[in-house]
């Protein structure tokens, strides 16, 4: 009878992890062996409010991923595994994890889930190489503004040429009338 509360706790944990897998924009799996509690706390602060970093049992996390409809992660659930659930800017979270891993070699990025598909550690690093959403939007806005300015200049060019032509004709007529 002592087994039932444990099983209920496990079922609750699996349900919670399944929900987090489904609602997160991305999930990154890491190995944290050798990191101190202080380092893990620092990592959680580094990730900010858009990502949560939590340790999970491999069997429960594997079951939750399967229930969430995610496949291809089974081989990543070996050794001590922590899950980073990202709700927001995936690039920013990937950069935060990569930078922390550079400073703390004990943190190893194993892979993850992005847009419902399993991705490798190399693909997580490729995400970290991208520019943040804000930078990309700013570049897009700048490009659009430049194109609008070009279009405005293009539309004004015929009017400017017409005005110059009219001024030249008027000047020519004035010269002809003073000469006559």
Residue 61 vs residues 45, 47, 66, 132, 139: alpha-carbon distances, Å: 23, 21, 9, 29, 39
* CA nearest to 83, candidates 10, 32, 15: 32
Phi, psi angle pair for 132, to nearest 5°: -65, 165
Q: What is the pTM of this model?
A: 0.66
Identify the H or E element spanning 27.
strand 26-31
List per-residue pLDDT tens for the chain, 180 residues long: 444 555 888 888 888 988 998 888 899 999 988 888 999 889 988 888 888 888 989 999 999 998 888 888 888 888 889 999 998 888 888 888 988 999 988 899 998 888 888 888 888 888 877 766 667 677 777 777 766 776 666 676 677 777 777 788 888 888 888 876
């Amino acid at each position: 009878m002592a087994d039932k509360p444990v099983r209920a706790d496990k079922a609750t944990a699996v349900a919670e992890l399944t929900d987090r897998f489904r609602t997160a924009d991305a999930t990154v799996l890491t190995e944290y062996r050798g990191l101190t509690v202080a380092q893990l706390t620092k990592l959680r602060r580094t990730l900010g409010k858009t990502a949560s970093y939590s340790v999970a049992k491999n069997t429960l996390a594997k079951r939750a991923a399967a229930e969430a409809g995610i496949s291809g992660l089974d081989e990543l659930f070996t050794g001590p595994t922590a899950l980073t659930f990202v709700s927001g800017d995936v690039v920013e979270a990937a950069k935060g994890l990569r930078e922390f891993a550079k400073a703390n070699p004990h943190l190893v990025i194993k892979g993850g889930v992005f847009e419902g598909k399993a991705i490798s550690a190399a693909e997580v690093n490729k995400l970290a190489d991208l520019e943040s959403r804000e930078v990309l939007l700013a570049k897009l806005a700048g490009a659009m503004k430049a194109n609008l300015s070009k279009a405005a200049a293009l539309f004004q060019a015929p009017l400017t040429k017409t005005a110059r032509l009219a001024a030249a004709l008027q000047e020519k007529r004035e010269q002809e009338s003073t000469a006559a």
